[in-house]
Amino acid sequence: MSSHRDIRRLLYDFAAGQLEHHRHTLVERHLEGCAECREECTELRAMLKRLPAESNPSADLPTAFWQELLNDVSARLPVRPKRRIIPAWIFDWLEFISIPRHQAIIGAATVLVLVAIISGMWFAFRHEPVHKHIAAATPVGTKPPAPAVNTRLKAYLRKSKVLLVGLNNMPLEEGTAVDLSLERTTSRALLHEARYLKDQPLDERSAALISDLEKIQIALANSREREDIPGLRLIRGGIQEENLLFKIRIAETVFTRLEDETQHADQ
């Protein structure tokens, strides 16, 4: 047991001082000639020294660092509008409208202005689709948005699985080309859906899975209608390298469980 790969496996135990004598010597000898392992060993030793922590290393940083960091945080926090002192003309205006004769004039003027605004808005927006309107910058209702995204995510995963299972089981014959027209079209639609989903509130596992799937979908979307076998093998390799079908199945199982829990909670 002395290859570079074998020694790398012993590095953690070596750094933790848990190797028996002869293996310890073996690793020591290897480290003399291997800069990569030496570097990793140094790193590991440094990490292990801190676990469990005896001091707070972050506290050793200069005060200036933390000050700069806090300034950075402050700069990123949303700026609240400054409170303004009520100007004197507002009081004059309030005094003016308190006279009954003036109130009638103001009432009539207000009705006219409102009619003008409503008509203007109707003309301005009658051809615009509703979805382009920014409805509100404040919460809508009292409940958080419904988990519609889960339904779309599940559908996205199901379609991706169909695509990947189909590709994985496609018979390959050397020297021939494979028709990937359906796969190309489906991948393009899935890429579009992935872009939508990535803008939704997702947990980090789902987000990572979508990113992994996107790579395959991009490769397929850009493939030729009749792809040669090496090209297809490359795509299949990507699916297997990332173990994507396993990840999709696990995600589906987890979603099923979540749905089941939600249903039970509702009941």
Partner 1 sequence: MLTNRLVVALLMGCLLPVAGAVAELPAPSHPPAMSAPGTGEADDPAYALYRDGYHSILEEHWGEARKFFAELRHRFPGSRYRDDAEYWTAFSWKQEDPAKARDAYERFIRERSGSTYFGDAVADLRMLEIEAALADAPQPPPSGAPTGYEIRIRLPEELRRIARDMEHIARAQSMTLHRNLMVLREGDTLLAKAPPASMRLRLFSPDADDPELQIRINALDAMIAGKRDETAFKVLQDIALDGRQPVPIRHVALNSLTEFPQKDPGAVFLAVANRDTNETIQRIAIELFAASNRSRGDRTERLMDMFRRFEKSAPRREGALSTTLYALATIGDDRAIDFIVHIARSSTNQPLRSDAIYYLGNIGTDRARQALFRIVRGEY
Binds partner 1 (CB under 8 A): choice among 26, 200, 215, 218: 200
Residues within window 99-128 making contact with partner 1, judged by CB under 8 A: none
Give the contact letters, 205-244, x = binds to partner 1 (CB under 8 A), - = no: xxxx--x-------------xx-------------xx-x-
Q: How far apart are CA 93 and CA 160, in angstroms?
A: 65
**Structure tokens given for 6:** 């074998």
Q: Among 102, 85, 101, 84, which residue's Cα sits nearest to residue 93?
A: 102
Compute the distance between CA of residue 252 and CA of residue 158 in angstroms, rounded to an integer: 8
Identify the three-state secondary structure at position 142.
coil
By CB under 8 A, the count of residues binding partner 1 is: 88
Compute the distance between CA of residue 159 and CA of residue 187 in angstroms, rounded to an integer.
9
Q: Which is nearer to partner 1, 186 or 223 (CB)?
A: 186
H helices of 199-243, in order, are 204-221, 229-241
> What would the two tokens of residue 249 be?
């199945």
| Least Cβ distance, residue 131 to partner 1 (angstroms) | 4
Tell me the one-letter amino acid at 125. F
Q: Measured between alpha carbons, how far is residue 233 from residues 172, 177, 228 in Å?
A: 9, 12, 9
Q: Which position among 33, 122, 136, 230 is part of the footprint of partner 1 (CB under 8 A)?
A: 136
CA distances from 51 to 20, 55, 56 (A): 22, 10, 11
| Contacting residue, 107, 120, 166, 237, with partner 1 by CB under 8 A | 166
Taking the complex as a whole, the smallest distance from the CB of residue 182 to partner 1 amounts, in Å, to 5
Shortest gap between Cβ of 122 and partner 1 (angstroms)? 19
Q: According to CB under 8 A, which one of 81, 173, 230, 266 is a site residue for partner 1?
A: 173
**SS3 category, 178:** strand
Q: Which range, of 52-60, 84-92, 109-117, 119-127, touches partner 1 by CB under 8 A?
A: 52-60
Judged by CB under 8 A, the chain residues 6 through 35 that form the site for partner 1 are 8-9, 12, 16
For partner 1, the closer CB: 231 or 252? 252
Per-position x/- string for 139-158, each x denoting binding to partner 1 as judged by CB under 8 A, each - no binding: xx---xxxxx-x--------
Query: Which residues in the 247-266 window bind partner 1 by CB under 8 A?
Result: 247, 249-250, 252-254, 256-258, 260-261, 264
Helix, strand or coil for residue 189? helix
73 lines the binding site for partner 1 (CB under 8 A): yes
